[in-house]
């Protein structure tokens, strides 16, 4: 593996995962800009600045400054459209629809749910596009300030305009955000599976620290929570520190911040304590970010390494561990697993079968422990602060 190119500097930090679409690499910045790079050499094909970001000093908490586009956008390849949510001055969240080929702004619409305070709600999770709608999850900011709840906003979309906006609010006493960067997992029937973080309740179950299934109409259909959900709330040990993974044979795998994994039945999540199996995945570490899978095999980013987990029927087993320094979300390509060792500033390629390190080029400091590579066009690309680096054979 060698460095194929490094892009020119862009106008803000890159928190969102790059998107490789055909011969382009789409990136979004905290300066509320979307870029399209040529995948062959990294030059800028177009840049669209959609608004002015919000200074971090104007918000009651948080660790991103300024706040612009943080969640990963989504692309409709057939309609040739990009959808991205940016926080713009004086302080609101807006969904922008851009032309994939030219960057032309097609339409925009505010997406803060009715009654939600944009200053304390954070749009960190990736957007989802399914059945003609874009779904936008919201959680809280670093520091858990203010009256926020897990929320999902849907917007009907077409190639020519954005349509009606609807929303769902998780019925927590407080908090319970949908904040994890991978966003929702989508089932064949359009259902959304999301994991919520800590809620403020210590007595009555209120859907914090849960895996929830929402219908395409944003109605709550089903839920799961560990039996110790109260303790997770008290210890800031979010179940929702990673996202649910939909697996073959109607299974869902979820691992929480405390490194404990749960295997669930996707058709009946089971309520409180209704898992098929529970067991430790991260030995002496926590789990954060996105969990990649190849069929029934998952690759979990624990704070001290990447862990292989295999699912068979109603059980899972833990396989190899690749010791790394604070790995970010994982992705899978043919024969390899990729992650960013975010503390050391290395892109790491692991052997799919054994977990042995194949390559580990330095990429320098990255802005977030959730920095995720992406693959396509024969490349693995990763945002490295204010540039994008591409690697290939």
Residue 22: name the closest of 101, 88, 91, 85 by CA: 101
The mean pLDDT value for 8-19 works out to 98
The mean pLDDT value for 83-99 works out to 98
pLDDT of residue 141: 97
The mean pLDDT value for 16-24 works out to 97
The mean pLDDT value for 245-250 works out to 96
Q: Beta 305-312 vs 251-255: how paired, if at all?
A: unpaired
- Indicate whether 78 pLDDT > 90: yes
Average pLDDT, rounded, for the chain:
97
The mean pLDDT value for 255-283 works out to 98
Report the C-alpha dihedral over residues 195, 200, 206, 207, rounded to 10 degrees.
0
**How far, in Å, are 185, 297, 338, 374 from residue 331 at the CA level?**
15, 12, 5, 7
The span from the CA of 237 to the CA of 235, in Å, is: 5
- Indicate whether 180 pLDDT > 90: yes
Q: What percent of the chain has pLDDT over 90?
A: 97
Q: What percent of the chain has pLDDT over 70?
A: 100
In the structure, what pLDDT confidence band is assigned to residue 285 with cuts at 50, 70 and 90?
confident
In the structure, what pLDDT confidence band is assigned to residue 283 with cuts at 50, 70 and 90?
very high
The three-point CA angle 232-236-237 to 5° equals 55
pLDDT of residue 284: 85
The structure tokens 């892109």 sit at 347
The mean pLDDT value for 236-263 works out to 97
HSE-CB for 239 with a 13 A CA cutoff = 30
The structure tokens 């929402």 sit at 214
The mean pLDDT value for 194-217 works out to 96
The mean pLDDT value for 245-255 works out to 97
Residues 110-131 as b/e (b if ≥16 CB within 10 A, e otherwise) read ebbbeebebbbbbbbbbbbbbe
The mean pLDDT value for 312-338 works out to 97
- Indicate whether 8 pLDDT > 90: yes
Residue 279 CA, chain-centre distance (Å), reads 24
pLDDT of residue 295: 96
Q: Enumerate the β-bridge partners of residue 88.
A: 92
- Indicate whether 1 pLDDT > 90: no
- Indicate whether 393 pLDDT > 90: no
Q: What are phi and psi of 128, to 5 degrees?
A: -125, 140
The span from the CA of 186 to the CA of 203, in Å, is: 31
- Indicate whether 239 pLDDT > 90: yes
Tokens representing 174?
């407080």
The mean pLDDT value for 237-263 works out to 97
- Indicate whether 385 pLDDT > 90: no
Tokens representing 79?
């309609």
In the structure, what pLDDT confidence band is assigned to residue 51 with cuts at 50, 70 and 90?
very high
């Amino acid at each position: 593996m060698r460095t194929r190119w490094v892009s020119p500097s862009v106008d803000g930090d890159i928190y969102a995962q790059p998107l490789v679409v055909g011969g382009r690499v789409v990136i979004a910045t905290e300066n509320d800009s979307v870029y399209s790079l040529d995948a062959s050499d990294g030059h800028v094909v177009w840049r669209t600045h959609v608004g002015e970001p919000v200074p971090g000093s104007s918000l009651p908490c948080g660790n991103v400054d300024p706040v612009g586009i943080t969640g990963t956008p989504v692309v409709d390849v057939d309609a040739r459209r990009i959808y991205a949510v940016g926080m713009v001055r004086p302080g609101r969240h807006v969904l922008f629809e851009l032309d994939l080929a030219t960057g032309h702004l097609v339409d925009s619409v505010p997406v803060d749910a009715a009654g939600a305070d944009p200053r304390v709600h954070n749009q960190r999770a990736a957007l989802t596009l399914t059945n003609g709608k874009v779904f936008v999850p919201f959680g809280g900011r670093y520091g858990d300030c203010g009256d926020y709840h897990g929320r999902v906003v849907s917007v009907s979309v077409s190639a020519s305009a954005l349509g009606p906006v609807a929303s769902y609010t998780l019925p927590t006493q407080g908090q319970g955000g949908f904040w994890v960067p991978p966003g929702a997992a989508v089932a064949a029937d359009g259902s959304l599976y999301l994991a919520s973080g800590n809620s403020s309740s210590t007595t009555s179950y209120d859907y914090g620290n849960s895996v929830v299934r929402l219908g395409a109409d944003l109605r709550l259909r089903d839920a799961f929570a560990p039996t110790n959900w109260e303790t997770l709330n008290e210890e800031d040990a979010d179940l929702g520190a990673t996202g649910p993974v939909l697996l073959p044979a109607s299974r869902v795998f979820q691992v929480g911040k405390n490194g404990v994994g749960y295997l669930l039945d996707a058709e009946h999540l089971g309520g409180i304590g209704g898992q098929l199996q529970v067991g430790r995945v991260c030995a002496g570490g926590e789990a954060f970010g996105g969990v990649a899978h190849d069929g029934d095999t998952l690759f979990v980013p624990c704070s001290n390494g990447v862990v292989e987990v295999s699912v068979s029927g109603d059980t899972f087993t833990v396989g190899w561990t690749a010791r790394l320094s604070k790995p970010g979300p994982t992705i899978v390509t043919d024969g390899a697993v990729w992650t960013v060792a975010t503390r050391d500033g290395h892109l790491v390629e692991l052997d799919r079968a054994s977990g042995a390190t194949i390559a580990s080029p330095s990429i320098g400091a990255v802005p977030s422990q959730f920095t995720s590579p992406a693959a396509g066009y024969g490349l693995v690309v990763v945002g490295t602060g204010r540039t994008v680096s591409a690697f290939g054979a």
